[in-house]
Amino acid sequence: MLTRVLHISDLHFGRNVKPEPIEALARLIEEVQPELVIASGDLT
């Protein structure tokens, strides 16, 4: 059995994040439909 994993890294959202990058990421996750999402690296 295969597991679909989406690994995202170094998002650098910060305090003043615009909604467009978050919406694009949400669309990608919906398209890929992973069983697991791993977020690593710098988030801010």
Cross-strand partners of 8: 39
What is the C-alpha separation between 6 and 40, in angstroms, rounded?
Answer: 11
Q: What is the torsion angle, in degrees rounded to the nearest 10, for the CA atoms of residue 6, residue 10, residue 11 and residue 12?
A: 170
Backbone phi, then psi, for 37, in 5-degree steps?
-115, 125
Whole-number pLDDT of residue 13: 83
* Ranges of the chain whose pLDDT falls below 70: none
pLDDT tens readout for residues 27-37: 999 999 999 99
pTM (2 decimals)?
A: 0.76
Number of H helices, E strands in the chain: 1, 2
